[in-house]
């Protein structure tokens, strides 16, 4: 605990109090796969200048700090946000990949993938060691790669539109201890140099040209069933801003109502509100490809279809489940991942044999609360 206290500029008793209050938590399961890590903790909540998800590790007597990823603000009225927040600024329009956020760092001799919450994930780490060029960290030892892990074989968000497996899409390069970000052009140059995939950047614009092109990109991504965009000033001095497509809003609404008794109402309301503001702005700027009636139908379908699909699944199988197919090069890492996930969530696993030299594991999350509510309601129970 002494190394954590020193990293956070605290006394040891103060650091222990954070641990007792569950603000500071253990960030990994000790295992030979994490051979470089002697001990590691994470911040469950923001503390002082340190973001939620900040990771602190001890390796061979050296302390490593990986700052949590800064929250990206969201705009619901894109044109006015651009004029107010990015006045006289060159701005890159980047695709917002629909996956899960990981920070990739080198600790000791190996690469480690740290989730947004601050845990080292065995599955993501194994994939990162296969895909990320370790030479980057030899040349930039104090930096981290901020990536979106996306694809069909994801333990969190399964999207085949990106990849049938799990790939990493770089969106930022940052200094590990300070969170200082590299500029957009330098990030793209470094990514090309080391063969690292990037979240696509569609162009750099400013002023009215930025507004026009940002909307053009949003419409394109909406038709392709993608999530949205992130606006970044090219020097990365201002806060980035995100904006989602109508497709994403409705996809989220489908998911929310599929598990209506498990997800908070705030999750449902915010998606509907986003869609309302987008409809207002598209109509005001004569960008509206969908009529109001078509939007109403799109949202209504997402809501009703989500509930209906869940009712039918519960009546047919008695359960409501989310399933993910994962592949592991090492059986030992697969077993470690099972332990890791069981520590964090209620999940079941089924080994599905070998495929192309990988061990295949099916991960199943049973959504019990919504399933139980459906059984009660269809048998005449009260809401």
- Distance of alpha carbon 277 from alpha carbon 280, whole angstroms: 5
SS3 206: coil
List strands edge to edge, sheet with 39-43.
24-26, 39-43, 55-59, 62-66
CATH 3.30.1490.70 residue ranges of the chain are: 70-96+205-242
Distance in angstroms (rounded) separating the CA atoms of residues 79 and 131? 38
- pLDDT value, residue 289: 72
- Return the CATH number of the domain spanning residue range 70-96+205-242: 3.30.1490.70
Read off the pTM: 0.92
Spatial contact of 227 and 96, defined as CB atoms under 8 Å apart: yes
For 232, the token pair is 């970044």
* Backbone Cα Rg of the chain: 22
Burial status of residue 88 (CB atoms within 10 A of its CB: 0-12, 13-18, 19 or more): exposed
Which tokens is 219 given?
């419409």
Given a cut of 90, is residue 345 above it in pLDDT?
no
SS3 breakdown of the chain: % helix, strand, coil, rounded to 5?
Answer: 40, 25, 35
Confidence of residue 137 (pLDDT cuts 50, 70, 90): very high
The separation between the first and the last C-alpha atoms of the chain, rounded to the nearest angstrom, is 49
Cβ atoms of 188 and 201 closer than 8 Å:
yes
Report helix, strand or coil for 229.
strand
Task: Please say if the pLDDT value at position 160 is more than 90.
Answer: no
Average pLDDT over residues 264-274: 90
Domain(s) labelled CATH 3.30.70.2160 in the chain stretch across 317-378
User: What is the per-residue pLDDT for 286?
Assistant: 87
pLDDT band of 311, cuts 50, 70, 90: very high
Does the pLDDT of residue 288 top 80, yes or no?
no
Region 325-338 average pLDDT: 96
- Residue 165 to residues 123, 195, 325, 356, Cα–Cα distance (Å): 12, 18, 9, 13
Share the mean pLDDT of the chain.
94
**Domain 2-68+98-198 CATH superfamily:** DNA ligase/mRNA capping enzyme (3.30.470.30)
Backbone angles phi, psi at 216, to 5 degrees: -65, -40
Q: Cβ distance 329 to 126 under 8 Å?
A: yes
Q: Which CATH architecture has domain 317-378?
A: 2-Layer Sandwich (3.30)
Q: For the chain, where do the domains classified as CATH 3.30.470.30 start and end?
A: 2-68+98-198
- At residue 264, the pLDDT reads 76
- pLDDT(263) > 90: no
Could you tell me which residues come within 8 angstroms of residue 307 by beta carbon, excluding any fewer than 6 positions away? 257, 258, 260
Tokens of 174: 């940052």
Mean pLDDT along residues 258-279: 91
Of 33, 108, 29, 22, nearest in space to 64 by CA: 108
> How many Å apart are CA 111 and CA 184, to the nearest integer?
23
Quick check: 173 pLDDT over 80?
Answer: yes
Give the HSE-up count for residue 39: Cα atoms under 13 Å, Cβ half-sphere.
Answer: 9
Of the candidates 176, 46, 40, 61, the one whose C-alpha atom is nearest the C-alpha of residue 121 is: 40
- Structure tokens of 371? 């399933």
Residue 88 pLDDT grade (very low, low, confident, very high; cuts 50, 70, 90): confident
Name the token pair of 136. Answer: 């980057």
Whether the pLDDT of residue 150 is over 90: the answer is yes
């Amino acid at each position: 605990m002494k190394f954590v206290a020193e990293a956070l500029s605290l006394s040891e008793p103060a650091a222990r109090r954070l641990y007792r209050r569950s603000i500071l938590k253990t960030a990994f399961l000790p295992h030979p796969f994490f051979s470089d890590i002697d001990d590691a903790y994470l911040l469950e909540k923001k503390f002082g200048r340190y973001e939620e998800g900040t990771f602190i590790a001890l390796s061979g007597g050296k302390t490593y700090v990986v700052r949590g990823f800064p929250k990206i603000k969201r705009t619901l009225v894109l044109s006015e946000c651009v004029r107010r927040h990015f006045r006289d600024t060159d701005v890159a329009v980047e695709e917002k990949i629909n996956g899960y956020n990981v920070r990739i760092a080198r600790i000791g001799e190996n690469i480690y993938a740290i989730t947004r919450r601050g845990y080292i994930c065995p599955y993501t780490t194994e994939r990162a060691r296969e895909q990320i060029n370790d030479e980057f960290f030899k040349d930039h030892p104090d930096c981290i790669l901020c990536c979106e892990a996306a694809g069909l074989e994801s333990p969190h968000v399964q999207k085949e539109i990106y990849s049938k497996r799990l790939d990493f899409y770089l969106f930022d390069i940052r200094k590990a201890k300070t969170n200082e970000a590299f500029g957009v052009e330098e990030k793209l140059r470094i990514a090309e140099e080391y063969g690292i995939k990037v979240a696509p950047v569609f162009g750099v614009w400013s002023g009215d040209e930025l507004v026009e092109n940002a909307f053009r990109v949003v419409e394109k991504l909406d038709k392709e069933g993608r999530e949205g965009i992130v606006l970044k000033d090219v020097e990365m001095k201002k806060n980035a801003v995100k904006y989602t497509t109508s497709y994403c809003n409705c996809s989220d609404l489908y998911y929310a109502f599929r598990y209506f008794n498990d997800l908070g109402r705030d999750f449902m309301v915010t998606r509907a509100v986003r869609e309302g503001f987008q409809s207002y702005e598209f109509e005001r700027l004569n960008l509206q490809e969908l009529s109001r009636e078509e939007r109403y139908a799109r949202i209504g379908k997402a809501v009703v279809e989500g509930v209906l699909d869940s009712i039918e699944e519960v009546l047919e199988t008695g359960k409501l489940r989310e399933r993910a197919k994962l592949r592991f090069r090492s059986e030992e890492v697969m077993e470690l991942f099972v332990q890791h996930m069981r520590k964090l969530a209620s999940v079941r696993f089924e080994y599905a044999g070998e495929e192309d030299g990988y061990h295949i594991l099916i991960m199943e999350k049973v959504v019990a609360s919504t399933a139980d509510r459906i059984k009660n309601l269809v048998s005449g129970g009260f809401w």
